């Protein structure tokens, strides 16, 4: 049966995450419905590179589709897009080798989090507006402590007795663009709520309620603090999924810009 590699984007605001669920609207569920309508196939394999939680967005999610009907990729992309809601969009569909698996073949992933320094009438679904001043150099210093292999049990709701909470974080980059502070986290894989709790801790450091030296302590201890400062889902994007041969050196750029207003003459 033909297999396709699908690259897609979505705004997760209206969905209960990526993975198909009973009695809940999900991104995977919407795409499977659209594929079934277009191809008139009831049985096919459609899997993503990983899950995203309720309210989380994606700039370049990757999935594979194996289906018992051969359709030109661009024709399939256009037709499925027409059957999808406006907040889910297939960017491209490519023929894939028979053994290509969107999750198993992935080497790394990166997430982007957007913190807004100001209230925005337009960007609210895509940022976390943090009132008050954040010290960017302190956040950058704290971010460096997350790099490496660590046990992130305090940064996740996953049960360490059922699933490993050890994660290799390749890098954490903190920068700015206009009135946005951007946090990129790259690594082999991520566990439930991990990135949002990392961002929450970085904001606490930037606000002066924690110090950069507190990050190693929170990683070493079984602490409830990261859970209490979990950043909202609205600012989180699955940025990229990397496969063998992909370029991982990408510029740090916002998914949804929030520019600094020009107050001259106001």
265 pLDDT exceeds 70? no
Residues 195 and 136 placed together within one structural domain of the fold: yes
pLDDT tens track for 42-89: 999 999 999 999 999 999 999 999 999 999 999 999 999 999 999 999
Give the residue numbers spanning the domain of 85: 3-95
The CATH number for 165's domain is 3.30.70.660
* DSSP helix/strand/coil, 88: strand
What is the predicted pLDDT for the residue at 261? 62
User: Which H or E run contains 37?
Assistant: helix 27-39
Distance from C-alpha of 232 to C-alpha of 237, rounded to nearest angstrom: 12
Write out pLDDT tens, residues 188-218: 889 889 999 999 999 999 999 999 999 999 9
Return d(Cα 216, Cα 142) in angstroms, integer: 9
pLDDT at 266: 41
Decide: 229 and 204 in contact? Cβ < 8 Å. yes
Residues 27 and 137 in one domain: no
Rounded mean pLDDT, 106-118: 96
Active site residues: 53
Find the mean pLDDT for residues 144-155.
93
Q: 182 and 112 in one domain?
A: yes
Q: Does residue 152 sit in the same domain as residue 218?
A: yes
What is the rounded CA–CA span in Å between residue 57 and residue 8? 11
**b vs e for 109-147, b when ≥16 Cβ sit within 10 Å of the residue's Cβ?**
bbbbbbbbbbebeebebbbbbbeeebeeebbbbbbebbe
Mean pLDDT, rounded, for 30-51: 96
């Amino acid at each position: 049966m033909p297999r396709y590699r699908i690259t897609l984007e979505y705004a997760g605001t209206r969905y209960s995450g990526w993975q198909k669920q009973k009695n809940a609207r999900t991104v995977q569920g919407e795409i499977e419905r659209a594929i079934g309508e277009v191809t008139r196939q009831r049985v096919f394999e459609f899997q993503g590179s990983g899950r995203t939680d309720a309210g989380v967005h994606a700039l370049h999610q990757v999935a594979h589709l194996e289906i018992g009907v051969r359709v030109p990729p661009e024709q399939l992309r256009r037709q499925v897009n027409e059957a999808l809601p406006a907040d889910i969009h297939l960017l491209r569909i490519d023929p894939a080798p028979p053994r290509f698996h969107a999750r198993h073949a992935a080497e790394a992933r990166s997430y982007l989090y957007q913190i807004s320094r100001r209230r925005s009438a337009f960007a609210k679904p895509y940022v976390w507006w943090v009132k008050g001043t954040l010290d960017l150099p302190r956040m950058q210093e704290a971010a460096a402590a997350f790099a490496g292999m660590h046990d992130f049990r305090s940064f996740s709701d996953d049960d360490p007795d059922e699933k490993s909470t050890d994660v290799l974080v390749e890098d954490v980059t903190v920068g700015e663009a206009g009135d946005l502070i951007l946090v990129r986290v790259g690594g082999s894989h991520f566990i439930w709520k991990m990135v949002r709790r990392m961002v929450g801790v970085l904001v606490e450091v930037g606000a002066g309620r924690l110090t950069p030296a507190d990050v190693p302590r929170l990683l070493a201890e079984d602490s409830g603090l990261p859970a209490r400062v979990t950043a909202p889902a609205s600012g989180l994007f699955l940025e990229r999924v990397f496969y063998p041969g992909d370029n991982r050196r990408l510029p740090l750029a916002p998914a949804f810009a929030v520019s600094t207003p020009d107050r001259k003459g106001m």
